[in-house]
């Protein structure tokens, strides 16, 4: 996907990019590749692949969750790595207020440099694990409108990492590849314990045919105070598995 195809594909979804936004994506790509030579941020480095599998794929969340387009949401991105999906969404929808939590300081440093280069405001980058961050009281726990996660963990684990951070009636937007329906079926016990309920699933394909699914979970009850458990435990002992 070249830049012209990127613009056209988004236009087909009624998303129009300005000259400034196009330059921000170009600068994003340049800094990503430059930094990737020093330490690993992504295995995807070809420009056409970055525009398709990182930039376009990230923005696809807004195709199925319309609130990204107009509302001033408080968004938390868990394990964003090099900023996906929340930074591409922030570029396209600058009213969004984005916090990224990541466990690696080098990635946090990269994101800070990226935000500076792109001139982004209302962004914050936190060096922490999701379990530790979610265990803290306000202003972190139960304080976000949306928690985003792209290819972070299967839903049984992901629900424990994210639901404690959501406001009541907040939404988890989980971006998945294939086998997402199996994950959802296996996560029903965990979701019930943690106060979540699946309200929508959207299966689609990227322009190159790669399968994707976006699952939206609403927090319908307060998450019990003992969750999330200490770092590492959700992975080792997933709820209900």
- Confidence band, pLDDT 50/70/90 cuts, at residue 98: very high
Residue 79 clears pLDDT 90, i.e. is over it: no
**CA–CA distances in Å: residue 211 to residues 8, 108, 151, 171, 175:** 20, 29, 13, 22, 11
**Angle between the N-to-C axes of helices 3-11 and 19-36, in degrees from 0 to 180, rounded to the nearest 10:** 130
- Confidence band, pLDDT 50/70/90 cuts, at residue 179: low
Is 130 within any annotated ligand binding site? yes
Residue 195 DSSP label: T
- 169-182 CB burial, b ≥16 within 10 A, e <16: ebbbbbbbeeebee
User: What's the pLDDT score for residue 93?
Assistant: 98
Residue 177 clears pLDDT 90, i.e. is over it: no
Residue 133 clears pLDDT 90, i.e. is over it: no
Residues forming a β-bridge with 212: 204
Is 131 within any annotated ligand binding site? yes
CB count, 10 Å around CB of 99? 22
Residues near 138 by beta carbon (within 8 Å), at least 6 away in sequence: none
User: What's the pLDDT score for residue 137?
Assistant: 64
Determine phi and psi for 171, rounding to 5 degrees. -125, 135
Taking the C-alpha atoms of residue 2 and residue 225, their distance in angstroms, rounded to an integer, is 47
Q: Which two tokens stand for residue 199?
A: 């309200």
Residue 107 clears pLDDT 70, i.e. is over it: yes
User: What's the pLDDT score for residue 1?
Assistant: 95
CB 6 within 8 A of CB 13: no
Query: To the nearest whole percent, how much of the chain has pLDDT over 70?
Result: 99
**Chain mean pLDDT for the chain:** 93
The two beta strands, 123-127 and 166-176, are unpaired
User: What's the pLDDT score for residue 131?
Assistant: 87
Q: Which two tokens stand for residue 168?
A: 């009541």
Give the DSSP H/E element, type plus range, for residue 90.
helix 86-92
User: What's the pLDDT score for residue 138?
Assistant: 63
What domains appear along the chain, each with residue ranges and CATH number? Answer: 3-236 (3.40.50.150)
Is 107 within any annotated ligand binding site? no
Residue 241 clears pLDDT 80, i.e. is over it: no
Mean pLDDT of 190-200: 95
The two beta strands, 74-78 and 144-150, are parallel
User: What's the pLDDT score for residue 123?
Assistant: 97
pLDDT of 30-53, one tens digit each? 999 999 999 989 899 999 999 999
């Amino acid at each position: 996907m070249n830049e012209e195809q990127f613009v056209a594909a988004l236009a087909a979804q009624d998303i129009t990019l300005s000259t400034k936004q196009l330059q921000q994506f170009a600068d994003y790509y340049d800094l990503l590749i430059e930094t990737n030579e020093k330490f690993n941020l992504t295995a995807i480095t070809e420009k056409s692949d970055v525009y398709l599998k990182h930039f376009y794929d990230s923005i696809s969340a807004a195709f199925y969750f319309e609130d990204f387009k107009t509302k001033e949401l408080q968004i938390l991105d868990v394990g964003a790595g090099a900023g996906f999906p929340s930074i591409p969404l922030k570029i396209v929808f600058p009213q969004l207020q984005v916090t990224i939590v990541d466990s690696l300081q080098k990635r946090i440093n990269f994101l800070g440099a990226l935000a500076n280069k792109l001139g982004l405001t209302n962004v914050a980058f936190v060096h922490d694990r999701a379990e530790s961050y979610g265990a803290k009281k306000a202003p972190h726990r139960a304080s976000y409108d949306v928690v985003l996660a792209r290819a972070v963990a299967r839903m049984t684990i992901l629900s424990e990492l994210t639901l404690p951070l959501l406001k009541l009636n907040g939404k988890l937007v989980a971006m998945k590849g294939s086998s997402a329906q199996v994950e959802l079926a296996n996560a029903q016990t965990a979701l019930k314990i943690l106060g979540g309920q699946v309200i929508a699933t959207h299966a689609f394909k990227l322009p190159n045919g790669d399968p994707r699914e976006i699952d939206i979970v609403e927090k319908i009850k307060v998450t019990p105070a003992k969750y999330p458990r200490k770092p590492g435990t959700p992975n080792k002992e997933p709820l209900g598995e």
